[in-house]
Amino acid sequence: MKVPLLDLKAQYATIKNDVLTAIAEVLDSQVCIGGPKVAELEQKVAEISDCKFAVGVTSGTDALLASLMALNIGPGDEVITTSFTFFATAGSIARTGALPVFVDIDPRTYNLDPSKIEAAITGRTKAIIPVHLYGQMCDMDPIMEVAAKHNLYVIEDAAQAISATYKGRKAGGIGTVGCFSFFPSKNLGGAGDGGMIVTSDPALHERLVAMRSHGSQRKYYHKFVGGNFRLDPLQAAILLVKLPHLGDWSEARRRNAAYYTRAFASSGVQTPWINPDCVSIFNQYTIRVSNRDSLVQALKQEGIGAEIYYPLPMHEQECFAGKCRVAGSLRESETASHSVLSLPVYPELTQDQLDCVADFVLRFAASQERPSPSEVLQ
Ligand SMILES: *Cc1c(COP(=O)(O)O)cnc(C)c1O
């Protein structure tokens, strides 16, 4: 049985008519920039993030970049983040001219280890970007504490964690700003690129709104240099159709995750650890196995989708050679990049598909435990 890593067509089939109606509405209105759909989505995403304001932007990457720009972060500044993340986190820091500073992760959650942050802070540090990886939020209390102590901004990279919670608080709603991505593979995905920034700071909101339109508040008068970071109203309209389903879809992902975790209970497969303070939205279901690369190959041969998020930590990327700072050992980030593997967990998976994936992985794990014939002979 073929099981893709993600099946966007299966989800689209359940909402097709509503999406087509919403698209037609935008096209009929010919409001092609900004307008009521963007404003409505902003209001709703602000609401589900427990924030006062939201600013629709072109992508999750631009949400991070515009946030850094609006906070005046640039050359000479340092921003602390995790090396075990999608490129956009560190890439956005570098694009402002600031220096990415990498701190190791907690091996249980793959998220920034808060106890390692303080040692990485210098007089140049301006901000921390915690990344809520795989749909589970970082341990935010100690991160906010160290940020407050050193007067640092906190930019939550919540691209994989929209509507996830930490001690009942929403992803994106704890830091100075929160950044979301509507990339199609995220829990709330558009039909193309899109993103959003949330904040409760009115002055920062104003700067962010200007930042996405070339830094202008009054047309053709530019207070600072911004960009064209505007969210497309067609994407906003599609996302408004999908948003009411987000809760059910995330619940279905949690059910699928729980099924795998039960199935793998007494095997050599290390299942995700969820902090009891957190509700994950399982953007990914990520396991660790010995001999990970042979499992990936075997899964692909079988027609089962699997992906490594992420095979090379940021501090080992060619583009950051000599252009980042490694704060302490990044051993856990390196180990994770060699051992993690994400399995299909999308909401529309059928029971047969779940069984197929679980059985295959279990058989592989069992085959790894059995001594090889040469070992038996010795
Ligand atoms: C997807 C993602 C981004 C970037 O979002 P885009 O919309 O693809 O630009 C940033 N950070 C993380 C952790 C992501 O997963």
In this prediction, residue 368 carries a pLDDT of: 85
Tell me how many domains the chain contains: 2
* Same domain membership, residue 221 and residue 156: yes
Tens of pLDDT, residues 135-166: 999 999 999 999 999 999 999 999 999 999 99
Closest ligand 1 atom to residue 181 Cα is 7
* Same domain membership, residue 231 and residue 260: no
Tens of pLDDT, residues 244-292: 999 999 999 999 999 999 999 989 999 999 999 999 999 999 999 989 9
Closest ligand 1 atom to residue 194 Cα is 7
* Same domain membership, residue 118 and residue 47: yes
Q: How far is the CA of 255 from the centre of ligand 1 (A)?
A: 24
* Same domain membership, residue 234 and residue 150: yes
In a domain, 3, yes or no: no
In a domain, 334, yes or no: yes
Question: Of 244, 261, 280, which residue sits at a domain end?
Answer: 244
CATH number of domain containing 328? 3.90.1150.10
Q: How far is the CA of 268 from the centre of ligand 1 (A)?
A: 31
Closest ligand 1 atom to residue 88 Cα is 10
CATH number of domain containing 83? 3.40.640.10
Percent over 70 (pLDDT), the chain:
98
In a domain, 86, yes or no: yes
Phi (first) and psi of residue 67, to 5 degrees:
-65, -45
In a domain, 138, yes or no: yes
Q: How far is the CA of 202 from the centre of ligand 1 (A)?
A: 25
* Pocket-forming residues, ligand 1, beta carbon under 6 Å: 59-61, 85-86, 88-89, 131, 157, 159-160, 181, 183, 193, 195
Average pLDDT over residues 282-305: 96
Contact (CB, 8 A) for 15 and 242: yes
In this prediction, residue 286 carries a pLDDT of: 98
Closest ligand 1 atom to residue 64 Cα is 10
* Same domain membership, residue 200 and residue 276: no
Among 6, 89, 92, say which to mutate for ligand 1: greatest number of ligand atoms within 8 Å of CB: 89
Q: How far is the CA of 28 from the centre of ligand 1 (A)?
A: 31
Q: How far is the CA of 288 from the centre of ligand 1 (A)?
A: 22
Closest ligand 1 atom to residue 182 Cα is 7
Closest CA relative to residue 231, chosen from 197, 189, 205, 194: 194
In this prediction, residue 370 carries a pLDDT of: 64
Instruction: Give residue 303's domain range.
Output: 245-377
Closest CA relative to residue 87, chosen from 77, 108, 76, 102: 102
> Residue 236 and residue 324: Cα distance in Å, rounded?
35
Contact (CB, 8 A) for 85 and 106: no
In this prediction, residue 378 carries a pLDDT of: 46
* Same domain membership, residue 191 and residue 305: no
Average pLDDT over residues 315-343: 98
* Same domain membership, residue 180 and residue 77: yes
* Same domain membership, residue 133 and residue 69: yes
In a domain, 1, yes or no: no
* Same domain membership, residue 251 and residue 239: no
Among 157, 282, 308, say which to mutate for ligand 1: greatest number of ligand atoms within 8 Å of CB: 157
Question: Of 226, 244, 262, which residue sits at a domain end?
Answer: 244
Say if residue 51 is exposed, middle or buried (CB neighbours under 10 Å; 0-12, 13-18, 19+): buried
Q: How far is the CA of 88 from the centre of ligand 1 (A)?
A: 6
Q: How far is the CA of 134 from the centre of ligand 1 (A)?
A: 11
* Same domain membership, residue 200 and residue 289: no
Closest ligand 1 atom to residue 160 Cα is 15
* Same domain membership, residue 236 and residue 253: no
